[in-house]
Structure 1
Amino acid sequence: MSESPRKRLKTEQQEKKSVPMSAFAAFLSVEDHQNSFHALEDLQESTSDKEIQVICEPTIQDEESTSDRTQTSQNQPLPLQSSGNNISPIKEDPEVLVNRFYADVLGRSVHIENMQVSVTGLKTGDCLCLHGIYQLTCIKGSLEILGYHIDAQPGNQWHTVYAPSTHSLPVIITHETSSNHIYTEIYNELQNSGKISDLEMYDTLVGIRSLKSNLLNLQNVYPPARHIWGPQDRLPPSMNKFPCVPINTKTPPISIMLYPDSWKTIVDHVLSHVRKPSIQKVLICGPKSVGKSSFAKYLINRFVSSFQKSKAHFLDLDPGQPEFGPAGMISLHAISDAILGPPFSYPQSPNLIQAHDIGDTSPQDNPEHYVACVQGLYGITCTQNPLEIPLIINTLGWIKGQGVEILADLINSIEPTHIVYLGPQLEAMSSEIARLLLGDPRLVILTSASELNNLTYSSPTVSPSELRTLSTMSYFHSAPTPGVENCNFSPLVGHSPWIASYEGEFAGVDAIAIFGSIVDSDNVAMVINASIVAIVIYTPSDRTIWENGIVPTPEGLPYLNLHGQYLDPKNSQCIGYAIVRGINVKTKELELLSPIDPALLETEDDSKLILLRGKLELPVWAFLEGSSNIIAGRSWNDAPYLTTEPEKGAGSQFSKSRRNISRRSAGVDIY
């Protein structure tokens, strides 16, 4: 970064006269979906024929607020109203943020009123599973969650856990320990109140407390997220007087995260070789939905808890479901803290080293560019990685055809010390993946998490596309300061956009490019308006070639025609994503919505800022504003980008596959 960086954005709020202005809004759910908890106890791998005791804590409300909310929830969702530039953002309901927790787990828990902490006693080997958002600490003994080890200390810190039903719920497991340390403040309070006598027989004391989490407001902009933090059905008012209600049956579709012993064995082996003469590089591969990301998080959490104040390099190579940020990106991170939640609870990584935009959820259309980006990210680890920092590589779940060729290129480029394969036996898989991996001395075949957990518990029923929507919505509502608690879950239509000039000596945007496609300059404005674009910093190797490659569009946009090619990853990096909210043709300015820190846009004079349009689409929820006929203060017919009018003419309807009349010998579908 130069001493006098180039300013690319206007910081003063101005009156907007964009043409056209895209309307971004969402439904506002007025129901009070308080965060309830499930406590699943004594979960063992051998419990396929055993009933699971579930303790469910109902929401506690006063009668007046309950009746008010019941009456409101029976009405239609309230649409947002806006008129011109005076847009009224959603006011967060503080009650929606409250996450009350009081679990009396079979008489093992006590509640410290003045500290608002529930303390649960567990014996060595016991397990506890909670559903919702909560904070966790160890008061006495030792515990583990998602591979992260927590011992009791005099001044223990609290760890925030995000456990929605979209993913397998994390399990708190107790361990035997020789340490006599205790969390002094809470333990002394237990003694002073006389409640310690109820818990003295337990080896581990777990502290749980409520969290007024901002993430609960995600339902304001993405209504399907209303029920992911608790049961969909509320308990009748007559049962609210009970602190908990036992449910003595299994409770699908809840899924829990159990780790096979084989996972623990290979992780122990990797950790025992850290700080040896060679860097430990673990490449994780396998089909889709077998737990590759879960194993990567387990390994990372084990490392950061075993080697305090150390970092693990995480190379996330799955653009379809990345661990941090929206889809379409592959990235390198230096992680020093535990990961205790799903991807959408970490919308931005505070430890991002570098990233590249792939422009799609799969590299099938640009495998050479994808491999080149991977090699560029791996090259950074070779120059920055001390021996004590392991490298964990999470690959995509494409292991057929061209996907196997890509995996082979990754293995040859990275040269991992361990190749961890999760999924069905390789002998039963395609011949390509079997030929690639079988016989390799670095290969370790592990049981997939889905195989183990599906023996007793059902898997989450959320599709990959829905998970991508969750991550995308969480990302664009996040703040420059990392952390989901800093998100602003009011509709995007009420967010103040950046104003970036695209013309003149001090232009904020130097070029606009279309990823992997050839688009006529007359259509560029239409292609990028109301769409997701990657913000790319690019250093051209030849300034003359760069200047000659820029073609102005009729709107004056600086169009960089890549002729179907891609930016060289050696000279470029993606620093985040933005939504093109509008194009002001008169003032030659773009209105952008982005959660990244504006300081990242202040580049040196020889660097260029490019908005790169790929195949990523903005979720429909980002456009919606209630269920009425008004959107952003206009009727549906007058608002841009969305219409309820039926299409007419040839090609206006979806083509329907007529497989019932195709001949077997034809091998094609008839439309």
Structure 2
Amino acid sequence: MKRKVEKQQSAAPVSAVSAIAARRARQPQQQVIVPISPSPDPRATEEPPTKKTKPSPPTDEKWTDSEKPRPDRRRRKGKLVAEKRQDDSMESAPQESEPLPDEPSADESRWEEENEDITMADGIEEEALAQNEEDESYESPTNVATEIENFPLSKTRLNKSSIVYADENRLCVRIKEKMNLVAVGQYDIWVKRGVISLMGAKLHPSPNLYRVYAPSTHSLPVIKCVTGIEGYAEVEISSCHSGMYRLGDLSPLYQRIWNSKNTAADKATLNGNSRRTFSVLYTSSDDPLGRHLRPLHLEKKWSAAIKHLSQKVGGLRVLVCGPKASGKSTFSRYLQNHLLSPAPQTENGYSNTDGVAFLDLDPGQPEFSPMGEVYLAHLRTPCFGPPFSHPSLDGSKDGSILRSHHIGATSPKEDPDHYVLAATDLMDHYKRLLADYPQCSLIINFPGWIFGLGLEVATWLIKSLGLSDVVYMSEKGPSEVADPLAQAASEAMVNMITLPSQPTEYVTRSSAQLRSMQMQSYFHKSQPAQLQSHIWSDAPLNRIRPLSVDYAGSRQGILGVMVMGAHHNPELLHDLLDGSIVSLVAVENQNAITGLATNADIPEHAMEDDDEQSDVDPDTNMDDATESPADESSSQPTLLSSLQPFITRTQRENLPYLFIGSGSCTPLNPKYSRSLGLALVRGIHPSSHKLDLVTPIPPSTIRDALETGQGIVLVRGQLDNPNWAIAEEYYAARAAERRHSASVVASRKAKAGQPASNKTHTDARKQKEISQQLRDRVRRAGNVPWMTVVEDTRRSARPSDGANHKKTMWKLRKKAYPGSESETDW
């Protein structure tokens, strides 16, 4: 009877004491239950699973709340009054009730257990940062008001007949036809026999390895056997170490998204305490962290549409549009993977050697670039993972970005004219690409800005881009959007396909948080020449040597600094620029600036790399790489001299403020300019007239632009503040302190019972000194003018030790204007 009473408490209004007890019991599952009014049948408020859940193999773990057997509805209805009375009595005397199952452990013991996982960062502890109501910066991923449901994931069960071989790094399994397998984490997959489907791609037996990123932030990819030999496909899944899990040391957004302790399926294939970078899951309840996990399945209509579109081979020019959160990016990703993975020899004799062109017109949630950019990419291989696992394409075997333009905002509504010009220029470059790759299909991803002026832009693109198909991701309209799109498609003689929306039912990160994760991944990602895959660094940006650029003098490396939007007082340029995200825009021709002559030549300009500060390959000579190619005739006006009427120098720093237009700044013409990538302005030095830039742009890209006579302009848009970069040192310091504390505890356990010696005392003193240094580092990182660490006592103490574990947060103090009280009110 007490178990029924405890379950009924979650559906009835509870007192403060019982609410704390209930929340403590649910903390291991990382869920927050929304209080609901009592109803005769609590199951009426719950959404049933789409499929019948298959139980996992028995383990020692206790059942979760979602797995507890429910009494019959008729019995519940008959005993509702009695249970309500007992519920009230238990609220008044909670000490008389049984302790609920799944008691959470203390922070320290939980950290020691999860710190052993090689696929998790050192900050696995629950990091509930308080959210500023006036800021959209950070929401705690754990504070999500929804219940955890047990979803079936893998149909294939690992046993002696399905396991070919297994060790601490690899797992080779046989998957029967129409069966599937789901894993969370990072892994490389190799198809040895049969044909499997993965995120829209059909992978045939080959020596190729495909890197898969399957974090809990998105629905997990499903490995399904499509065609088998002797009834099954054989695949090998192996661990990979890209370093992305280390980003958890720099941001709580990257914590608790990979695999943790071994699951029931892992224990059947591993011996001892060894772990892989991936874990096989049978159901979502198998996850040791109790996260909301979903399999990535497609609507049948989506599959039929992808099959229909892929039959057009090289004549495909499709625009994917629809409302926000309707599945546009997912559909585009599935379609491009399907086009990039045909059979070695299909029935019509076509073999895709020309790749797929991807025109991404969504600056808020781009697929292969950081936010604020629209671009044209030429893809060569399927891509398996969310956008933050491939924030850029560096010309590797996966593909390359042919041309990119900086919009400077997460929505094109800030400047629709500039947005249309950028889209038109990218489409022109796609037509040039067809000269070398005539069978290259085109996929255009349009943003969710589909109402009002956005609808006019969409209809104009349909009529002017020469499309073959339009996919609208909503069967429910509205008619004021669907009808004009259908009419525009009819006038342009373009086929229009209407598909149902497939929004994500559960999202562990908001759109702003996903943008921050993609930005952070972009700045920490690199592509070493000796490696075939990308790697990520866990060094905070303030510890990376920047690229030093002259903004004035004889070796001036940038033409000017442009701030998009309204006109600003030039004396505010320092505050607008310092610590902001800017785009390095290459000016290819004077026509990029409205009103300039068209027959002037581009001057010689260079970007200097300080030997003491540059964070580039020591074998690369930046002075040689950025020298101007040849002296140009002094009789010809240079681009810099032509820009002088539009440049205002600040009095204190001598910064070149480039403003074109009246009232608001006119952006550079996309036809004669392009974005090289983004950079973080880490410092401004007025005495030496230098800017310190941290950027992942390869030095060869900048060198090639300068050697072709192009000038560089820094464009400061209206992107989100880089709050993630400001807090990196703080989180890195805390992670280092936790690692050292864990090593000290492990050392003490290993030396327990041994006699003390001089070496033991010496090691203890060294450990104490290191601990003090790490504590000082945490204090320095949290005691800076732009960040304030605030104690958050809103969450209750854990019942395991009764201590009041306080959580911390950080927030950014902004200046209203120079000299204001807010400038010094920290």
Question: TM-score w.r.t. structure 2 length?
Answer: 0.60
Matched, 1:551 2:602: no
Is the 2:563–2:717 contact (alpha carbons within 8 Å) kept by the matching residues of 1? yes
Is the 2:581–2:678 contact (alpha carbons within 8 Å) kept by the matching residues of 1? yes
Cα distance 1:569–1:147, how it changes in 2: closer, same or farther (>3 A)?
same
Q: Quick one: distance in 1 between partners of 2:284 and 2:527? A: 45
Selected match of 1:302 from 338, 359, 364: 338
Cα distance 1:244–1:367, how it changes in 2: closer, same or farther (>3 A)?
closer
Cα distance 1:116–1:249, how it changes in 2: closer, same or farther (>3 A)?
closer
Q: 1:420 offset after TM fit, Å?
A: 0.5
Q: 1:537 offset after TM fit, Å?
A: 0.3
Q: Quick one: distance in 1 between partners of 2:161 and 2:541? A: 45
1:284 aligns with 320
**CA offsets 1:595-637 (integer angstroms, 9 cap, x no match):** 0111222214742101100111333221123378967985766
Is the 1:533–1:580 contact (alpha carbons within 8 Å) kept by the matching residues of 2? yes
Selected match of 2:248 from 210, 216, 219: 219
Selected match of 2:197 from 144, 163, 179: 144
Q: 1:357 offset after TM fit, Å?
A: 0.4
Cα distance 1:224–1:234, how it changes in 2: closer, same or farther (>3 A)?
farther
Q: 1:176 offset after TM fit, Å?
A: 2.1
Q: 1:497 offset after TM fit, Å?
A: 0.4
Cα distance 1:202–1:213, how it changes in 2: closer, same or farther (>3 A)?
farther
Q: Quick one: distance in 2 between partners of 1:176 and 1:577? A: 44
Matched, 1:423 2:453: no
Q: 1:447 offset after TM fit, Å?
A: 2.4
1:311 aligns with 355
Greater Rg, structure 1 or structure 2?
2
Matched, 1:560 2:560: no
The CA RMSD over aligned residues, in Å, is 3.8
Is the 1:532–1:580 contact (alpha carbons within 8 Å) kept by the matching residues of 2? yes
Q: Determine helix, strand or coil for the equivalent of 2:313.
A: coil
**CA offsets 1:363-414 (integer angstroms, 9 cap, x no match):** 1120111011000100111122143111100000111112211211221221
Selected match of 1:488 from 531, 537, 541: 537
1:395 aligns with 446
**CA offsets 1:636-671 (integer angstroms, 9 cap, x no match):** 66x453356999999999xxxxxxxxxxxxxxxxxx
Cα distance 1:550–1:248, how it changes in 2: closer, same or farther (>3 A)?
closer
2:747 aligns with none
**CA offsets 1:339-384 (integer angstroms, 9 cap, x no match):** 1111110121131000000000001120111011000100111122
Q: Determine helix, strand or coil for the equivalent of 2:645.
A: helix
Selected match of 1:612 from 715, 723, 736: 715
**CA offsets 1:261-293 (integer angstroms, 9 cap, x no match):** 322322222222224xxx320100011112111
2:215 aligns with 164
Q: Quick one: distance in 2 between partners of 1:56 and 1:324? A: 42
**Which residue identity is paired with 1:561?**
F
Q: Determine helix, strand or coil for the equivalent of 1:626.
A: helix
What does residue range 240-259 of structure 1 map to in structure 2 within 5 Å?
253-259=292-298
Q: Quick one: distance in 2 between partners of 1:75 and 1:265? A: 44
Number of residue pairs matched? 541
**CA offsets 1:298-322 (integer angstroms, 9 cap, x no match):** 1111111113433100000000000
**Larger relative contact order (Cα-Cα within 8 Å, sequence gap ≥ 6):** 1
Q: Quick one: distance in 1 between partners of 2:284 and 2:124? A: 31
Q: Quick one: distance in 2 between partners of 1:57 and 1:582? A: 55
**CA offsets 1:101-160 (integer angstroms, 9 cap, x no match):** xx962555426356942122222111212111111111221111012221224xx22211
Q: 1:432 offset after TM fit, Å?
A: 3.6
Q: Determine helix, strand or coil for the equivalent of 1:364.
A: helix
Q: 1:212 offset after TM fit, Å?
A: 2.2
Selected match of 2:590 from 514, 537, 540: 540
Matched, 1:642 2:787: yes
Q: Determine helix, strand or coil for the equivalent of 1:262.
A: helix
Is the 2:221–2:296 contact (alpha carbons within 8 Å) kept by the matching residues of 1? yes
Matched, 1:204 2:247: no
Q: Quick one: distance in 2 between partners of 1:648 and 1:168? A: 40
Cα distance 1:463–1:648, how it changes in 2: closer, same or farther (>3 A)?
closer
**Which residue identity is paired with 1:460?**
V
Is the 1:125–1:174 contact (alpha carbons within 8 Å) kept by the matching residues of 2? yes
Q: Determine helix, strand or coil for the equivalent of 2:337.
A: helix
Q: Quick one: distance in 2 between partners of 1:367 and 1:248? A: 44
**Which residue identity is paired with 2:304?**
T
Q: Quick one: distance in 2 between partners of 1:68 and 1:299? A: 38
**Percent of matched pairs sharing the same residue:** 28
Q: Quick one: distance in 2 between partners of 1:283 and 1:647? A: 41
Q: Quick one: distance in 2 between partners of 1:122 and 1:267? A: 24
Q: Quick one: distance in 2 between partners of 1:337 and 1:388? A: 15
Cα distance 1:510–1:175, how it changes in 2: closer, same or farther (>3 A)?
same
Is the 2:196–2:203 contact (alpha carbons within 8 Å) kept by the matching residues of 1? yes
Is the 2:585–2:676 contact (alpha carbons within 8 Å) kept by the matching residues of 1? yes
Q: Quick one: distance in 2 between partners of 1:219 and 1:57? A: 30
**Which residue identity is paired with 1:502?**
Y
Higher helix share: 2
Q: Quick one: distance in 2 between partners of 1:252 and 1:69? A: 18
What does residue range 361-510 of structure 1 map to in structure 2 within 5 Å?
361-385=410-434, 386-426=437-477, 429-437=478-486, 440=490, 442-450=495-503, 458-479=505-526, 481=528, 485-510=534-559
Unpaired segments of 5 or more residues in structure 2? 1-47, 61-108, 117-121, 128-155, 274-278, 343-350, 395-399, 592-596, 598-638, 735-774, 791-812
Selected match of 2:309 from 267, 270, 288: 270
Cα distance 1:421–1:605, how it changes in 2: closer, same or farther (>3 A)?
closer
Q: Quick one: distance in 1 between partners of 2:464 and 2:284? A: 52
Q: Quick one: distance in 2 between partners of 1:244 and 1:588? A: 55
2:106 aligns with none
Cα distance 1:478–1:609, how it changes in 2: closer, same or farther (>3 A)?
same
Q: Quick one: distance in 1 between partners of 2:385 and 2:281? A: 26
Q: Quick one: distance in 2 between partners of 1:241 and 1:514? A: 58
1:661 aligns with none
**Which residue identity is paired with 2:211?**
T
Question: TM-score w.r.t. structure 1 length?
Answer: 0.73
Cα distance 1:299–1:647, how it changes in 2: closer, same or farther (>3 A)?
closer
Q: Quick one: distance in 1 between partners of 2:281 and 2:430? A: 51
**Which residue identity is paired with 2:234?**
L
Q: Determine helix, strand or coil for the equivalent of 1:499.
A: strand
Cα distance 1:75–1:374, how it changes in 2: closer, same or farther (>3 A)?
closer
Is the 1:478–1:484 contact (alpha carbons within 8 Å) kept by the matching residues of 2? no
Q: 1:550 offset after TM fit, Å?
A: 1.8
**CA offsets 1:240-262 (integer angstroms, 9 cap, x no match):** 97998976969872122112232
Q: Quick one: distance in 2 between partners of 1:106 and 1:286? A: 44
Q: 1:202 offset after TM fit, Å?
A: 4.6
Cα distance 1:412–1:112, how it changes in 2: closer, same or farther (>3 A)?
same
